[in-house]
């Protein structure tokens, strides 16, 4: 479990699909009990499920809790990093390139207003 501010991330691993689903269900029961005992509510609409996979091997696992399926996503933000289901850096690189382009454009637009030394 990883806690950061008001976000809770739970990392679960298991190569066996059946065992994985059991672990997920038990984890949700435990975390929901903890939230309830701590007078914190769990917003089921904000719960996301990211299944990490290789580019050539993909097994879709539907995960549910209280007869509701958890939203499956292909990317998520984790501690301000964008993580995708193949653990590639493409999304993060695209984000950084976009910010750099904006900064370069701003610098280019002010070059006629400031001296070379500035």
- Tens of pLDDT, residue by residue over 38-64, are 888 777 788 888 888 776 666 667 777
pTM: 0.61
User: For residues 2 and 9, is the Cβ–Cβ distance under 8 A?
Assistant: yes
Whether residue 86 is predicted with pLDDT greater than 80 in this model: the reply is yes
- For residue 70, give the nearest of 6, 1, 10 by alpha carbon: 10
Start-to-end C-alpha separation, the chain: 48
Whether residue 97 is predicted with pLDDT greater than 90 in this model: the reply is yes
Report the distance separating Cα 116 and Cα 104, nearest Å: 16
Cβ–Cβ contacts within 10 Å for residue 83, how many?
A: 19
Please indicate whether residue 118 or residue 46 has the higher confidence score (pLDDT).
46
pLDDT single digits (tens) 69-85: 888 888 888 777 888 88
């Amino acid at each position: 479990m990883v806690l950061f501010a008001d976000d809770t991330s739970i990392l679960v691993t298991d190569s066996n699909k059946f065992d994985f689903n059991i672990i997920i269900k038990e984890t949700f029961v435990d975390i929901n009990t903890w939230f309830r005992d701590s007078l914190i509510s769990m917003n089921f609409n904000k719960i996301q499920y990211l299944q990490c996979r290789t580019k050539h091997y993909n097994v879709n696992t539907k995960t549910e809790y209280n007869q509701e399926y958890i939203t499956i996503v292909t990317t998520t933000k984790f501690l301000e990093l964008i993580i995708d289901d193949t653990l590639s850096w493409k999304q993060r690189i695209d984000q950084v390139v976009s910010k750099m382009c904006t900064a370069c454009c701003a610098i280019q637009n002010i070059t006629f207003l400031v001296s070379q030394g500035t």
